[in-house]
Amino acid sequence: KNQVEQSPQSLIILEGKNCTLQCNYTVSPFSNLRWYKQDTGRGPVSLTIMTFSENTKSNGRYTATLDADTKQSSLHITASQLSDSASYICVVSKGGATNKLIFGTGTLLAVQP
């Protein structure tokens, strides 16, 4: 079954601290993996995208990693800011004709002052 699981479900950290969010997937065939940030009441915004051959991708304070062998990805946020408070969604694109997106349930991050 094509699934994307994320952990933790929610996370509270202090401003300035780092954190790492996890994503495990069983999607096959695999095309690519994206991390999105979704602010409350808004649509998702893409942070990073990685294909099978890419191990890491950075976007400012966001660094995503991908281990295609173990089918795991992580999103590391450095020096967190209050504006980082949001839901972070891991999305795996299923290869093939449909290019269907499989969404994780997200990790709700709260950054406190």
Binding mask 64-93 for other proteins (x = CB under 8 A): -------------------------x---x
Q: Which of 113, 86, 112, 92 is nearest to 104 (CA)?
A: 92
CB of 6 to other proteins, least distance (A): 9
**Cβ atoms 77, 61 nearer than 8 A:** yes
Out of 42, 55, 61, 81, the residue judged to bind other proteins by CB under 8 A: 42
| Pairing label, strands 30-38, 86-94 | antiparallel
Contact letters (x/-) for other proteins, 44-63, by CB under 8 A?
xxx--x--------------
Binding range to other proteins, per CB under 8 A, among 17-25, 28-36, 64-72, 75-83: 28-36
Instruction: Name which of 48, 45, 50 is nearest 86 in CA terms.
Output: 45
Q: Rounded to whole angstroms, how far apart are CA atoms 44 and 72? A: 21
Binding residues for other proteins, rule: CB under 8 A, are 31-32, 36, 41-46, 49, 89, 93, 99-101, 103-106, 108
